[in-house]
Amino acid sequence: RKEVEQDPGPFNVPEGATVAFNCTYSNSASQSFFWYRQDCRKEPKLLMSVYSSGNEDGRFTAQLNRASQYISLLIRDSKLSDSATYLCVVIFSGGYNKLIFGAGTRLAVHP
Amino acid sequence: DTEVTQTPKHLVMGMTNKKSLKCEQHMGHRAMYWYKQKAKKPPELMFVYSYEKLSINESVPSRFSPECPNSSLLNLHLHALQPEDSALYLCASSRGQGATTYEQYFGPGTRLTVT
């Protein structure tokens, strides 16, 4: 079983749609959680950290369910510029800040 | 400012060449990282420097040699590479590394082609 699993997609959605990505992780000692976005042939950019209480940044909402070892990202009112690959990233406790990446979920927003 | 810079942007090298990749950050971060990313795959960690000392080497072949001259700079020296080493090489930095986790910020990468 992979340490961090994501649905690879692609998710093809119209502008204005709401889309949700899910991610599961295998190590219950996981400590920190992030969503990064990566545009084609560019570097990963930190989108948001994910906290136990859930957190929101504009149109983006991240949730963490430690009991189910599950992280989600909700994007509301999708824009064309949201088209990218979204990487779920986990750091395991004692993992010396080593990022464990999921394979990424591709999002394509169309007009 | 969360900027990490990398040079060169692109590099083409033969299998007998020696070249270096450079990374710089001025955020006062004390941990720096090298990652390798192949097409349609997530980044894979290669090396971690913490307070200018190598703390993690993910069993990377010796043809890749990292160096951290000071807290702002990270180099990756390349020698006798193979075509399968062609990839995007990403540098990242974070405030620290250890029991407390810190967000990592990536540079734009160097796209390396080995011929």
Contact (CB, 8 A) for B90 and B48? no
SS3 A80: helix
Using a CB-CB distance cutoff of 8 angstroms, which residues of chain A are in contact with residue B42? 87, 101-104
Percent of chain B predicted with pLDDT > 70 = 95
Inter-chain CB pairs, A–B, below 8 Å = 50
Say whether pLDDT at B31 is over 70: yes
Q: Do A103 and B42 touch (CB under 8 A)?
A: yes
Using the predicted structure, report yes or no on whether residue B34 has a pLDDT greater than 80.
yes
Report d(CA B6, CA B74) in Å as an integer: 9
Do A31 and B101 count as a contact with CB atoms less than 8 A apart?
Answer: yes
B110 touches B5 (CB < 8 A): no
pLDDT-derived band at B2, boundaries 50, 70, 90:
low
- Compute the distance between CA of residue A89 and CA of residue B94 in angstroms, rounded to an integer: 15
- Dihedral of alpha carbons B48, B50, B54, B56, sign: negative
Tell me what pLDDT residue A37 has: 97
Give B55 to chain A, closest Cα distance, Å. 9
B2, B45, B105 member nearest A98 (Cβ): B45
Residue B18 C-alpha, separation from nearest chain A C-alpha, in angstroms? 25
> Is pLDDT of B1 > 60?
no
Q: What is the Cα–Cα distance from B5 to B9, expressed in whole angstroms?
A: 10
* Predicted pLDDT at B83: 96
Q: What is the largest CA-CA distance in chain A?
A: 45
Mean pLDDT across B45-65: 94
In this predicted structure, what is the pLDDT of residue A31? 82
| Nearest-neighbour CA in chain B from A1: distance (Å) | 17
> How far is it, in rounded angstroms, from Cα A16 to Cα A26?
33
Q: Do B90 and A87 touch (CB under 8 A)?
A: no
Q: Check residue B99 and give its pLDDT.
A: 60
Q: Tell me the one-letter amino acid at B54.
A: L
Q: Which residues of chain A have pLDDT under 50?
A: none
E strand intervals along B14-109: 18-25, 31-37, 44-50, 53-57, 64-70, 73-79, 87-94, 105-106
Percent of chain B with pLDDT over 90: 89
Give the pLDDT score at B22.
98
